[in-house]
Amino acid sequence: MTLIAIVRIDHPELALAHTIGSTSGTKITVVPESGTDPDTGQFFFHVEADDGDFEAFERALDDDDTVAEYVLVAEAGETRIYRIQHTSRTKLLTPKTTEVGGLMREAGSAGTGWRVRLQLPSREALADIWEFCEAEEISFELLQLYEQNGIDAGDGGRLTDAQREALVTAYERGYFEEPRGTTHEKLATELGISATAVGGRIRRGMTRLIEATLVEEEE
């Protein structure tokens, strides 16, 4: 039995805090299973920018005190992957999560901070992380907590929290009805992201659902 905790953390010295706050139209997520050692201060980030315009994002990186250097690793349309080296003053949750025997399964920009999904061995481990955040003056908000049987070995066909939120909100607002009860623009306003990001989350979420149900059933 493992414990899954979805939390929101915020602090001016958290990784990319300045960049997140300066580029509200950009979605930043940590690349999962990238094999990066958190002790090195280097991480890979998947970045989605409105209309593929990354100039504002890179300007924000240049002014971000948590960024020592960054390298563009790959790009395709409106998405890019960057490898970023953090400065020594950067506050990171990953090393503490590893220390208590946990894993950070997902991390995505939210507001001026991060929304993360932690896989933990116990409630004591969660308490240790909360105490760490309190000592570091990191805002820590527990959004969801539940137990999970077995081992979470990866995403598989599971939706990300962002995709789930977009799909559920779209469904509740009549997006999938005929005629449609809402638009990407209205959903974007409600979710606090760009219309392009809304379309991307709905499309990728639907793809995951199809792969996890229809395709596997046919096989």
Residues 135 and 175 both lie in one domain: no
Structural domain includes residue 153 = no
Q: Quickly state the pLDDT bin for 73 (edges 50, 70, 90).
A: confident
Looking at residue 91, the DSSP 8-state letter turns out to be: B
Integer Cα distance of 34 and 53 in angstroms? 25
Selection from 19, 47, 13, 29 nearest residue 138 by Cα: 13
Residues 44 and 122 both lie in one domain: yes
Which DSSP string corresponds to 170-200? HHHTTTTSSS-S--HHHHHHHHTS-HHHHHH
Average pLDDT of the segment spanning 81-100: 92
Residues 66 and 128 both lie in one domain: yes
Is the pLDDT at 85 greater than 80, yes or no?
A: yes
Look up residue 146 and give its two tokens. Answer: 């539940």
pLDDT number for residue 207: 74
Q: pLDDT per residue over 22-70, tens digit each?
A: 988 888 998 865 544 555 567 889 898 876 779 999 999 999 999 999 9
Task: Provide the CATH number for the domain around residue 173.
Answer: 1.10.10
Is the pLDDT at 215 greater than 60, yes or no?
A: no
Residues 169 and 195 both lie in one domain: yes
Residues 133 and 168 both lie in one domain: no
Terminal CA-CA length for the chain: 30
Residues 77 and 168 both lie in one domain: no
Domain boundary residue among 123, 148, 173? 148
Residues 9 and 77 both lie in one domain: yes
Q: Structural domain tally of the chain?
A: 2
Domain limits at 214? 161-218
Domain boundary residue among 119, 148, 177? 148
Report H helices in 54-101: 55-62, 94-99
Structural domain includes residue 94 = yes
What does the CA dihedral 118, 123, 125, 130 come to, rounded to 10 degrees? 80
Domain boundary residue among 96, 120, 148? 148
Give 149's strand partners.
Answer: none
